[in-house]
């Protein structure tokens, strides 16, 4: 059971379909692994639909209400489709990766760190990747200023007094505060990471990417 969840605001944006596609994918993958957030999101969907049902048609353009209701019923964002069909990659994520976890062609970055970039729209704004870090590896203390989401898919890591395991979402509460994440010792830690900015590698594992890329 997950212990670190998206904020209610993030879930609201997800339910409304207003998150960028990479972030939607991260949240959809978290929802595949988190019954509590699935229930919260279902409530938000129901509430949003009920609010639209209550709107007086005269307040909206002809057909606008129907279009909005249709959009709620046919979301364009990725949605969870449990049960997971891969031991590591839940269905929404596997659809983007295009293969099972055992078939991924990891690119070695050094020091026990590997990456696989997802072919996901985002252009120069976001980078979406899977990262695999060897058991017990630590990351030098660092700080950063980028917007980033990290979702644990296998293994785990500890950052300060917080431990993150499969299904847990790490978002930057205060990215300026230095931290030093350490991968748990019980196996490789695999994460899905969305980073804002083409060359801005930040977050728990990001500085390593910068280090080994240079």
Looking at beta carbons only, is 28 or 182 nearer to Zn ion? 28
* Minimum gap (Å) between residue 138 Cβ and Zn ion: 27
Q: Residue 17: count other Cβ atoms within 10 Å of its Cβ.
A: 13
Looking at beta carbons only, is 80 or 203 nearer to Zn ion? 80
* Minimum gap (Å) between residue 2 Cβ and Zn ion: 5
User: How far apart are alpha carbons 201 and 47 in whole angstroms?
Assistant: 37
User: How far apart are alpha carbons 189 and 205 in whole angstroms?
Assistant: 11
Per the listing, tokens 């891969």 go with 86
Looking at beta carbons only, is 11 or 88 nearer to Zn ion? 11
* Minimum gap (Å) between residue 28 Cβ and Zn ion: 12
* Minimum gap (Å) between residue 5 Cβ and Zn ion: 3
Q: Residue 40: count other Cβ atoms within 10 Å of its Cβ.
A: 18
Chain contacts with Zn ion (rule: CB under 5 A): 2, 5, 34, 37
* Minimum gap (Å) between residue 42 Cβ and Zn ion: 13
Looking at beta carbons only, is 26 or 113 nearer to Zn ion? 26
User: How far apart are alpha carbons 82 and 85 in whole angstroms?
Assistant: 8
Tokens describing residue 147? 């917007």
Tokens describing residue 65? 């209400």
Looking at beta carbons only, is 139 or 170 nearer to Zn ion? 170
Residue 116 phi, psi (nearest 5): -140, 115
Q: Residue 160: count other Cβ atoms within 10 Å of its Cβ.
A: 11
Rg (CA), the chain: 18
């Amino acid at each position: 059971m997950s212990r670190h969840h998206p904020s209610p605001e993030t879930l609201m944006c997800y339910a409304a379909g207003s998150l960028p596609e990479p972030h939607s994918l991260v949240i959809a993958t978290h929802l595949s692994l988190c019954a509590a957030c699935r229930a919260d999101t279902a409530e938000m969907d129901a509430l949003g639909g009920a609010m639209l049902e209550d709107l007086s048609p005269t307040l909206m353009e002809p057909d606008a209400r129907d279009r909005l209701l249709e959009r709620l019923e046919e979301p364009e964002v990725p949605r969870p489709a449990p049960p997971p069909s891969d031991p590591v990659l839940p269905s929404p994520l596997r659809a983007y990766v295009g293969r099972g976890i055992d078939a991924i062609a990891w690119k070695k970055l050094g020091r026990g760190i590997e990456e696989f970039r997802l072919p996901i729209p985002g252009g120069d704004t976001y980078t979406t990747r899977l990262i695999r870090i060897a058991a017990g590896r630590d990351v030098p203390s660092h700080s950063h200023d980028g917007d980033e989401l990290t979702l644990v898919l296998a293994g785990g890591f500890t950052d300060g007094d917080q431990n993150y395991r499969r299904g847990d979402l790490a978002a930057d509460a205060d990215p300026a505060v230095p931290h030093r994440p350490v991968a748990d010792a019980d196996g490789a830690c695999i994460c899905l990471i969305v980073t804002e900015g083409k060359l801005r590698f930040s977050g728990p594992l990001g500085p390593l990417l910068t280090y080994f890329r240079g």
